[in-house]
Amino acid sequence: KPINQRLRRNLFKKDIREPIHIIATRGYKWTKKDKDQLKKDGFIVLTEAGINYLESCYNESKSSWFTFNQFLSFYMGDKDYFGAQLKDEQKQYVGFRTRSSPGKDGVFETEDDVFAYTTSMKVIDLLKISTVAHKKAEDIDQLGSTTKNYYQRILKSSRLNGKNAIPKFIREKEGPFTNNLLINYRGAKDLEKMWTPFDKGQKRGGLITFDKLSPGMFHIIDGQHRLFGYTPIIETEGDESDFGQHELIITLFDKMEPQDEARNFLQINKNQKAIDAGLVLEVQLVFGAHGPPDEVIENLATTLVQMLADPKKG
């Protein structure tokens, strides 16, 4: 505590910062009791396996932001790092909820229905509390000892850097992605308990008031590259970058089991197919061509028929 006080007084001043004290070890097996006691005393034990995992994250992604997020999600996930200084209204989001599963009884509109919650958040806020779900693991040491067994790949540096990477697309588009990020909420308090419905319309709209905004409380099931594709831009331009103010649509599942996360991930990616570049150009004509809509659609239909009739053109 005395060290923390000196750091805040001499270095951090008015900035809201939290010192992190780390013991890094190699070749020593810590018991859970030992690690819990050290954490209680303000220390993090970063073991050889944990270091291996974080090294894998950085070597694959070349993103310090992503790697640090993964670190925080494992070691500081119970801390209200990004919400402690905010008022309740700053942690409130308007959205709507949809029945995503009938629950254990298999019947919709009963007490055990499972809901998904859809809202939007600014990129800069999402980045602070999001991590990438890889597989079921009690702690980072388990992941560090089996770095090849993720159900979700670590971010690829080729997607975050280079001529045809996502940041280049974001800059050229100058607007956010419009398709949902699928996220598993893993906070301590159930989303249902933080949901206040509106008494209007079909009564599916409402207000989500998060009790905490903690590292890793959002586990991304689908959309990791879309979100973390913003990090090279924000690292260059700073937290006040206009790109950080982009809003992304998110759909939250309430503490979904890891096997269900994996199942959803596989369903999404298994059914994805590459789209022929020629077909993409033809579809773009629908949005960019001048003339009556019926004429544009007829031209597109004719082109598709020709492609199907002549495989060489497809």
Q: Which of 235, 73, 202, 89 is nearest to 139 (CA)?
A: 73
Higher pLDDT, 282 or 132: 132
Contact 22, 35 (CB under 8 A): no
Q: Is the pLDDT of residue 200 over 60?
A: yes
Of these ranges, 5-9, 43-47, 249-253, 293-297, the one predicted with the greatest mean pLDDT is 249-253
Contact 178, 247 (CB under 8 A): no
Which tokens hold the place of 211?
A: 């009790």
Helix, strand, coil shares of the chain as percentages rounded to 5? 45, 20, 40
Q: What is the pLDDT of residue 282?
A: 45
Q: How many Å apart are CA 289 and CA 73, to the nearest integer?
A: 47
CA angle 76, 79, 84 (to 5 degrees): 145
Q: How many Å apart are CA 52 and CA 48, to the nearest integer?
A: 6
Q: How many Å apart are CA 312 and CA 278, to the nearest integer?
A: 12
Q: How many Å apart are CA 156 and CA 58, to the nearest integer?
A: 10
Neighbours of 77 (CB within 10 A): 18
| SS3 (DSSP) at 98 | strand
pLDDT tens, residue by residue, 38-58: 888 888 888 888 888 888 888
What's the chain's average pLDDT?
78
Contact 188, 212 (CB under 8 A): yes
pLDDT tens, residue by residue, 225-239: 889 989 988 888 887
End-to-end CA distance of the chain: give it in Å, rounded.
Answer: 68
Report the amino acid identity of residue 281: L
pLDDT tens, residue by residue, 122-177: 999 999 999 886 554 456 666 555 544 444 456 778 888 766 788 888 888 877 88
User: Band of the pLDDT at 223, cuts 50, 70, 90?
Assistant: confident
Q: Which of 99, 94, 122 is nearest to 209 (CA)?
A: 94
CA angle 213, 211, 195 (to 5 degrees): 115
* Reported pTM: 0.73
Q: How many Å apart are CA 131 and CA 184, to the nearest integer?
A: 10
Q: For residue 67, give every residue at least 6 positions away whose Cβ sits within 8 Å of its Cβ, in sequence order, or none.
A: 54, 57, 58, 61
Q: How many Å apart are CA 295 and CA 279, to the nearest integer?
A: 18
Q: What is the 3-state secondary structure (H, E, C) of 216-245?
A: CCEEEEECHHHHHCCHHHHHHHCCCCHHHH
Q: Is the pLDDT of residue 249 over 90?
A: yes
Which tokens hold the place of 22?
A: 């780390």
Q: Strand 21-24 and strand 130-132: pairing?
A: unpaired
Q: Which of 162, 32, 191 is nearest to 98 (CA)?
A: 191
Q: Is the pLDDT of residue 91 over 50?
A: yes
Higher pLDDT, 257 or 269: 257
CA angle 249, 255, 138 (to 5 degrees): 120
Bridge partner list, 122: 247
Mean pLDDT, rounded, for 190-211: 89
